[in-house]
Structure 1
Amino acid sequence: MDLSIQHAFIPHTDPEASLAFYRDALGFEVTNDVGSGTMRWITVGPPAGGTTIVLTPPAVDPGITDHERQTIAELMAKGAYAAIVLATPDVDAVFAAVEATGADVVQEPADQPYGVRDCAFRDPAGAMVRIQQRN
């Protein structure tokens, strides 16, 4: 089979705050922005292309119950609902640039026992964004 990853989905609670993080702090380009208010689906990705992230309103599926929506909101608030791992050739430089924007730092760059150097931030909706050193 010849498969590739086209999109990853990360929920947002405030589209403008998410844009400030993914576009302004991480340097991603906006390739699509549809909807209005908090009901916006915003596609962002690296300027060089490749897999994109779709920032979506959480729990908008009509089949989700109010109880499930509440559970999702609670998990998002804890930072336990969504995560993504990005890669860069220089994790220390990226960390410094993103930290300078005021992003929520979870972990400064560190060498992990499993063989990677990485850092972590939390996006405005609580999603964990880990950035690993690319070998």
Structure 2
Amino acid sequence: MDITIHTSVLPHTDPEASVGFYRDVLGFEVRSDVGQGRMRWITVGPAGQPDTSILLAPPAADPGITEDERRTIAEMMAKGTYGWILLAGRDLDGVFAQVRDGGGEVVQEPTEQPYGIRDCAFRDPAGNLIRIQELR
């Protein structure tokens, strides 16, 4: 079997802020942007990696979701516990400085974890947790 991870989904609450963060702060390409207003589905990904993407999507857009479920999703997003992703790069200190200086909400500065990984963490404009680990 030959399977690859193609796209992962994170919710957004403000499409313009999300595009600004992923494009201007993380340096990702905007590959598609469909819809209008707050109901936009935006695909971004790292330059040079066209087969790996993040879909930034409106939360709870599925018409089958109940109002209670929508409320729960909104509460989890507000606490930053709904969506998260793990990224990696070789220059963790440089990436940390770029994201911090670009306005990323710092959750954790670069730290050597007890399990042998050095990483840091931010929140994107929707509150999604972004952990970035150092490739060695």
Same fold at TM > 0.5: yes
Structure 1: stretches of 5+ with no match in the other structure: none
How far off its partner does 1:41 sit?
A: 0.3
Residue aligning to 1:85: 86
Tell me how far apart the structure 2 counterparts of residues 105 and 126 of structure 1 sit (CA, whole Å).
11
Correspondences of 1:111-130 after superposition (within 5 Å): 111-130=112-131
- The secondary structure found in structure 2 opposite 1:93 is helix
Percentage of pairs with the same residue = 64
> How many residue pairs align between the two structures?
135
Describe the superposition over 1:63-112 as per-residue Cα deviations: whole angstroms up to 9, x where unpaired.
10011000000000000000000000111110001111111000000100
Counterpart residue type for residue 97 of structure 1? Q
How far off its partner does 1:51 sit?
A: 1.3
Structure 2: stretches of 5+ with no match in the other structure: none
- The secondary structure found in structure 1 opposite 2:32 is strand
Does residue 1:22 correspond to 2:13, yes or no? no
Correspondences of 1:99-110 after superposition (within 5 Å): 99-110=100-111
Moved beyond 2 Å, runs of 4+: none
Residue aligning to 1:10: 10
Residue aligning to 2:33: 33
Tell me how far apart the structure 2 counterparts of residues 102 and 47 of structure 1 sit (CA, whole Å).
21
TM-score (norm 2): 0.98
TM-score (norm 1): 0.98
Tell me how far apart the structure 1 counterparts of residues 13 and 103 of structure 2 sit (CA, whole Å).
18
- The secondary structure found in structure 2 opposite 1:125 is coil
